[in-house]
Amino acid sequence: MAQILRIVLKLLDTIRSRIVKAGQRRAKLMFEAYEKPGGVFSWAPQAREWFHDSRYTWYLGVLEVNG
């Protein structure tokens, strides 16, 4: 039963929502890595702004879905 539900949910999922979810997951992982001491944010603080831009998370999502 659980497998059927998983299949139905996957069929209902649109490509747009998959891209958005994948982009948000990737952005979260990157943000956590970048904010560590000595990480990217220490020498490129403007990169922090990218994570607030929906176009950047969309880009990350497209890379994840297609890559």
- Following DSSP, what letter does each residue of 11-32 receive, concatenated? HH--HHHHHHHHHHHHHHHHHH
Residues contacting 18, CB < 8 A, separation 6+: 61, 65
Determine the pLDDT at residue 67.
84
Determine the pLDDT at residue 40.
94
- pLDDT band of 11, cuts 50, 70, 90: confident
Write out pLDDT tens, residues 22-51: 999 999 999 999 999 999 999 999 999 999
Residues 64, 54: Cα–Cα separation, whole Å = 15
- Mean of all residue pLDDT scores within the chain: 92
Residue 42 sits at φ, ψ, to 5 deg, of -70, -30
Tell me the domain boundaries of the chain: 15-66
Q: Can you give the pTM of this predicted structure?
A: 0.76
